Amino acid sequence: IWTGLHVYVFQRAHSVPLVARHVPAWVLIAVAAALWGSFLGGHLLPGPRWLALTLERVGAWWVGVLFLAFVSLLAADLITGFGFLLKPHVPAIRGWAFAAAGALTVIALVQGLRAPVVRDYDVIVPGLPARADGMRIVVLSDLHLDGMLGDAWAADRVKQANDLKGDVIVLVGDVADSRMDDASAKRAAEALRGLYAPLGVYAVFGNHETYAGVDWSAKFFQDAGLALLRDQWTELRPGLILAGVRDSGDVAKALAGRPAGAPVILLAHRPAHARAAAKEGAALTISGHTHGGQIWPFGYYVAAMNEGKLAGPYDVDGKPLIICRGTGTWGPRMRLWFPGEILRITLHEARP
């Protein structure tokens, strides 16, 4: 797929007269080969960390740019029947497609570099203890702290979360990243230790913690001062349970042995756990993982892979599910149309 995208985009670039007149074919091939190798090289090539990180950053940005170029050119090809219709205008239409890709890239960069917005939700929880009425849960997801976002960005997110004055802070997976080295992991852990809420700071594993290794990730969470919930529950307040399920974990196991009648707030990185959570009687499931698609129109594919769920509130078998579209980004620091977010969920007692 990676190779095919490069062939498609650069072949189309060579068909634009302005490019063909001023850029020799061999230069296009060399540029395509260098960009093709940047993302893979950052992950696979041995050598100093600074070189790998530089290649990784170039490759990450290029993933976003290439995707938007592909989408724009595909739209042009659909309009022109892949060059068989409107033949005299095909080169110009492809040129405008590249211009559109450039404009979309700028918009995505601006939105990706913005601070996450705060999104508020109010949830009625049947059986919520009276003293927990109005309790605030601050939610961060998909931080992907891998050294590419930067130490200042991590520190700013900690301050932003603390400023929301939540009673509890939760991180619903992909806090770490499979590409972290020891130095960036240490700095990220130091930043996360600054998170504070009166009832604690809790987290669950996402798929990237699994990729990095569960033992390594568990130590990282410990160093960061995060209380890790691995298919288990804790009593936040008398009569209110907070549970967490691993990325590939068992919801029934996570909720086993809980006090009868106590409402459960379940943290599950993947929204796919929500159906099992509803079956087990969880009052609310909080998830991440989807990034809200991150770069439109990729969200349509992501939604299809998650039972049509992408971001925001949903009803799953009569129980609420709230999906955070991600506080950080994976790969390119780009988001198209929707910024990153931190959630503030306020729990309310059910009243007659």
pLDDT in tens, 303-320: 999 989 999 999 999 999
Region 236-255 average pLDDT: 93
pLDDT in tens, 170-220: 999 999 876 677 788 888 999 999 999 999 999 999 999 998 889 999 999
Region 152-163 average pLDDT: 94
pLDDT confidence of residue 172:
97
pLDDT in tens, 266-294: 999 999 999 999 999 999 999 999 999 99
Q: Which of 251, 211, 213, 216 is nearest to 230 (CA)?
A: 251
Chain-centroid distance of CA 234 in Å reads 26
Q: Which two tokens stand for residue 196?
A: 């504070």
Q: Where is pLDDT greater, at 343 or 181?
A: 343
Distance CA 288, CA 274 (A): 11
pLDDT confidence of residue 43:
67
Match 């309009």 to its residue by tokens.
79
Q: How confident is the model at residue 164 (pLDDT cuts 50, 70, 90)?
A: very high
Distance CA 175, CA 15 (A): 43
Cis bond before residue 297 (omega within 30° of 0): yes
pLDDT in tens, 131-143: 999 999 999 999 9
* Phi, psi (rounded to 5 degrees) for 240: -135, 125
Q: Which of 229, 23, 236 is nearest to 136 (CA)?
A: 236
Strand 227-228 and strand 201-204: the pairing is parallel
pLDDT confidence of residue 7:
96
Decide: pTM greater than 0.85.
Answer: yes
pLDDT confidence of residue 52:
72
CA distances from 279 to 73, 276, 283, 285, 318 (A): 45, 5, 10, 12, 10
Q: Nearest 5 degrees, angle CA 170-CA 262-CA 276?
A: 65
Give the three-class secondary structure for 302: helix
Region 148-154 average pLDDT: 81
Specify whether the CB–CB gap between 162 and 194 falls below 8 A. Answer: yes
Q: Report the amino acid identity of residue 197.
A: A
> 171 - beta bridge partners?
140, 203
pLDDT confidence of residue 147:
62
C-beta atoms surrounding 235 within 10 Å: 12
Q: Where is pLDDT greater, at 298 or 51?
A: 298
Region 72-91 average pLDDT: 94
